[in-house]
Structures are given as C-alpha cells and as structure tokens.
A and B are shown apart, each in its own frame.
Chain A
C-alpha cells in the first residue's frame, strides 16, 4: 500500500511548522466519555438543548462503524482514547488584536492574519485550538446587519436563527465523524447575512492547532438569506508533531432563495493531521452554493463537499485542487443531490500526486426519476509526478428519468521528461520547470481564488515541488 511507504522526501512546510509553549486553563483531559462532554458543556456554559445534542451525537458516534469498508485502513490508526478533545485558555474572542493575549497573537501575526485582514477582508475569526481568540467584522459590514461570530456566541446570542438550521443540513448521525463533532464541537463560525445584503469582501476564518494529541472540532453554520451574497474563506495550519492530530469539522451552509454562498478552503495542515470533515450546503430556489476546496496538507484528508439543490433552478458547484505529497493521501470529491427541477451542478476536480502521495476522487451525483431539466458536469483530472504515485477515481452517478443531462470526463496525465527538458533548455531549473508545469495544470482553477489566495497557493505548490526533485 502506498500509504504505508516511508516518506523519502522532506517537504518544506516551514509556513506553519512552529509552536509556542502554552498554558491551558481548561483541558478536558485525554480520551472521550460522557464526563468529557459534560466538562465541555460546563466550561462553555451550554444551554440544555446543546448539552443534549452533544450526548445524542456521542451515542451515535459510538454506534457508527468506521467507514473502512470503502475508505482507507489508515483511519484505524486514529486512537480516540489518546486524543484531547478540548483545550483553551478560557479566552473570550477579542474584537481587537491588541486585546488578544501575546502568546496567541504572535502565532497569528507570524501567519500573517492581521495583515491580510487590513488588506482585503471584511472580517476575521481566528481560532486557536478549541476556541476563537479573535473575531471581528468591519463596522460597515456589521451595520448592514451581518452577524459574524463564533459558534458558541452564535448559539447563545442568536438562538432564533441558529437553532432553526443547526444540525439540519448535516444531521449528527450523518457519519461517524459528524457524530463525533456533534458531541465535542467547539469554535467555528456562525454567519448570518440578511436579505439582499451582498458582502463585497470575503470573511475569513483561520484555524490553528497548537497542541499535540489534540482534536479540533469546529462547527460552522452560514445562512445567506434571500438574495444575499457572501464569500467565506478558511485557512488552517498546525506544527508538525510525531503523533497524530485529529481535525474533524462540520460545516453547514444555507442559501435561501436567490442567495449565493462561495466557500473557499485552503487546507495546509501538517502531515500528521487526520483531516476528516463533513461539508454540505442547501441551495433553495435559484440559489447558488459553490465550494472551492484546496487540500495541500494533512496525512489523510477525507472530504466531499456537497450541495443539496432543494429549490428549482438552484446551482451547486465544487471546484477542488488536491496535492498529495509523499506519504499523504487526499481522498476528496463532491456530492451533488438534485432535489428539484432545472437544477445544475458542476464538479471540477484536479489532483496532483507526488512521490508516494495518493489522491482519490469520489463523486456522487444523484438525480431522482421525477425531476426534469437537471444537468451535471463532472471533470476529474489527475496529474502524476512520478511512477510510484497513485490516483483513483470513483464516480457514482445515478441519474434517472428523462430530460436530465450528465457529462463526465476524467483524465490522468504525467509531466513527461521531454516537457521538463524543453523547459530546462529555456533556462529553468528542473524544480522550477516542475513547478511551472504543476501550476499550469491547476491554473484555470487557481484563477477562481481571490488574488491573495492564488498567490499563496502558487507559493505552496512551488515549495512542494522544490522538495520533490533533485
């Protein structure tokens, strides 16, 4: 199995690979049982319904099997008893960086978050282990009625909106990891955009894991009311530890009639992180949900962002880029559930496998018999950088009835020695040639990212390539 191959290439992950010592005021200890959940509920001051929701999630977590009958056996290496499920300094998210404790602030400064906020963001939330350290939106955006807070604050301060949608797009029993998240969730964003409000600049969340043997379980809920528009971006990093770390988020999006949500992820976890995330959006009539998903880091990522097109004319889109370096497995894809007439979905997936890295595409497109005028387009392209990398495509397309159109294209390509020689003959080093070819391969997708992120993405790809040749 490729996943068991020892990494023979040392990839430069210097961006996020640093750590400052921390004292945690609240630590749920190692392992998971009912007492852990009560501890988390007590520390967070959960209302009763949330405590009950957690316990229900815990029961489902115990019941649900690991998905190893279809997924990688590497999942069995997660030892749930060795993980710490909640760690915080007891901080309340601050509205200005000056108020953020120095030891946390220096981490985010080093990652460039305050600077990005000044330059091009409408709001930022920065989560450090279990809790947000900073959360703020620009005054002009807040004045339009946009709510952008952490999930803890969201459920307490805005229960009338929060409760209506929380756990509705992704029920806690959806899969073992969504159940686990429901039991121990902490952090993540709650966003509400009022009818007709179009938020011009992106809102951003940054997730940072600082502690070893830790599990981060943020929970994000975004509601764009009728005709509202929003772009949300998330980034994440962790220092590299010897032992496995678990990141298992749940993200629910609701786009009401005519609303548009664009959700952008640049995932750059260190190579010891299991990244097992459930993401799904509901698109009502004429609404649009678009996931732009970029996975560069982690040991194993399993993530299949989905869109349920519930209203007529709704659109769903998943654009994903996965880069599986040595020893990594990116198991990603998309789920498109057509549940109304004239709904349209589009999936474009590009993966790059390097060294012993492995990428897998899993897609599900479902169009039931009674629907008319539904369309899906799926394109999966895989690029293999050297002979022992591996790529698999598992498209599951079930389309019934007439008058629905589906199109699926897949390709696997390699960067040939002749292409590299050609570029070298123009004066580019082998690594620079490789970078250029890989950037070319994902270029059309990268252009869909906001400028600042596409520059970052290009830099990350360059770093990966530098480590992979010579």
Chain B
C-alpha cells in the first residue's frame, strides 16, 4: 500500500456500517488531484454508501480506517466543514428545497465560505453564475426556480453540476450522475464535467454503466464489490466489464484471496 499523497483524496482501509450492518469492509482508494477515477460495480456493492460516508452522512458509522483530504483526516467533522474544505458530492437523488431559489442557495453556499463579516459581491456573483449556466446550456430562468422542485431528472443533474462549477471543489464525487438522463442530457452533463477537469480537481465518478465513461473518460477504473475495491485498471477495464460482466473479476478476486 502506497503512502497517501498530500495532494489527493485518500481512503485508507475504510470500514463502515449502518446500525450493526457492515457496508464498507476495508476499502482503499487514492484519487490524486488532476485525475478522474471511476468506480463501477453491481447494485448493492456499496458505491453510493461510500459517497455518503465520505461526505459525512450521519446515518453511517466509520468503525476503522481513514479518509484523508490532502493528507488531513476528515472523519469526525461535520458535513458542512468537509464541504468547505473542498469536498463536493453530486447526489444521485438531489433533494428539493421548496421556496429557496437556486440563485439564493448557491449564493448562501458561497457566502458560507467567506470569512465572517465579508459579503459576497452581488454583481460578480451573477456574472459568474450566468457564465456557468450558459456553459451548461441552463436557461436563465433556472435561477428563480426553487432548488430541484419540480425538476426533470436531467434538470436535477445539471443543477448539481452547476453547483459544482460554482463552488469549485478540490475533490468531487459524482454519484450515478448518469441515472435518469437521456442521451442528450448525458452529453450536456458530461461536457459540463469535462470542462471542470484540470490539475486542480480530483474526481470520483460512480456509475454502473459503461455509457457515462464514453463521455467522461477516466484515468482509472475500479471495481467495487461487497464493500471493497476488488480490481483496478485503466479505461479499457470499463469496456471489458460492459462486454463480460462482473463475474470474472469476482472469481479472480476470490481465487487471489484463497491463494494468499
């Protein structure tokens, strides 16, 4: 096991459970800044749970292991503090917040990142918001709609990517961002994500379809099963999984384990 880089999102032998039920069973993963990694796996492998645990969802308990953001542990700190440290989660099912407009919501989130007593400059804010919206082909009237309320699946996902673009995280976890998207929406959302790629961000894309990875081409692909990473490879691994399924990986993994 390599030492965690000081410039990475690093998950070290993480064990976590909900109630008495273990979900993560020794998961290790290192996402350096500047790279895009994908996690694939069957339903129930624990992929979405991993995302929530990293973000600090109160339903889950970490029993051992660590999550390091640029070398600092983020376990035991509040979800909002983790977010302000630079961790962003694009939700599979974004929540509706009735009566709170997207413009006010993002503004409040940016304001929360400023030192006490400092006010966000409104004109700069709107200029930035509009340019990011244009890049994501989001119509201007979006800003006055309540967050996710009455949104189509595609609108919800675009709204997530818009928030990511505005908040400029150093690490982003995209949980099943392709679910509920038709091919046109998938292209727009992927283009939005690709536009944010660069040396200052590390991304973890969670999906169980190869389809998304045609548009967001990952540097590495990991296979998750029963709460661990059981196999890693380059982008071609996704194609192989699509063609051959997951059974061979699982067999190899159990064979490898029994050989040890």
B96 to chain A, nearest CB (A): 8
- Is B78 within 8 A of A428, CB to CB? no
B120 within 8 A of A: no
User: Footprint of B on A, CB under 8 Å?
Assistant: 416-419, 421-430, 432-433, 436-437, 439-444
- A432: which of B112, B163, B167 is its contact (CB, 8 Å)? B112
* Across-interface contacts of A424 in B (CB, < 8 A): 56, 78-80, 83
Give Cα A417–Cα B80 distance, bound, in whole angstroms: 14
The DSSP consensus for interface residues of chain B is mixed
* Across-interface contacts of A441 in B (CB, < 8 A): 98-99
Give Cα A370–Cα B97 distance, bound, in whole angstroms: 45
Give Cα A424–Cα B80 distance, bound, in whole angstroms: 4
- B163: which of A421, A426, A429, A440 is its contact (CB, 8 Å)? A426
- A437: which of B55, B100, B113 is its contact (CB, 8 Å)? B100
- Is A440 within 8 A of B108, CB to CB? no
In this complex, the member of A417, A421, A443, A444 whose beta carbon has the largest number of chain B beta carbons within 10 angstroms is A421
CB-defined interface of B64-101 with A at 8 Å, one 1/0 digit per residue?
00000000000000111001100011010011111110
* Across-interface contacts of A444 in B (CB, < 8 A): 99
- Is A432 within 8 A of B108, CB to CB? yes
Q: How many residues of B contact A (CB 8 A)?
A: 29
- Is B112 within 8 A of A440, CB to CB? no
* Across-interface contacts of B57 in A (CB, < 8 A): 421
Other than the given A419-B95, A436-B108, A441-B98, 16 more pairs (CB < 8 A) read: A421-B57, A422-B94, A423-B97, A424-B83, A425-B79, A425-B88, A426-B80, A426-B106, A426-B112, A427-B113, A428-B80, A436-B97, A440-B98, A443-B99, A443-B100, A444-B99
How many residue pairs, one in A and one in B, have C-beta atoms under 8 Å apart? 77
B109 within 8 A of A: yes
B7 within 8 A of A: no
- Is B91 within 8 A of A427, CB to CB? no
Give Cα A120–Cα B106 distance, bound, in whole angstroms: 31
The 7 lowest CB-CB distance pairs between A and B, nearest first, are: A440-B99, A440-B100, A443-B99, A422-B95, A424-B79, A426-B109, A427-B83
Q: List 10 A-B contacts (CB under 8 A).
A: A417-B58, A419-B96, A421-B58, A425-B55, A425-B79, A426-B167, A429-B112, A433-B80, A437-B100, A443-B100
- Is A440 within 8 A of B79, CB to CB? no
- Is A439 within 8 A of B78, CB to CB? no
B100 to chain A, nearest CB (A): 4
- B97: which of A425, A427, A432, A437 is its contact (CB, 8 Å)? A437
- With A424-B78, A425-B79, A430-B78 in contact, is A418–B109 under 8 Å at CB? no
A449 to chain B, nearest CB (A): 15
Residue of A whose beta carbon sits closest to that of B99: A440
Give Cα A355–Cα B163 distance, bound, in whole angstroms: 32
- Is A419 within 8 A of B167, CB to CB? no
Give Cα A340–Cα B239 distance, bound, in whole angstroms: 75
B146 within 8 A of A: yes
Give Cα A422–Cα B98 distance, bound, in whole angstroms: 13
Give Cα A421–Cα B100 distance, bound, in whole angstroms: 16
- Is B112 within 8 A of A428, CB to CB? yes
Give Cα A428–Cα B167 distance, bound, in whole angstroms: 12
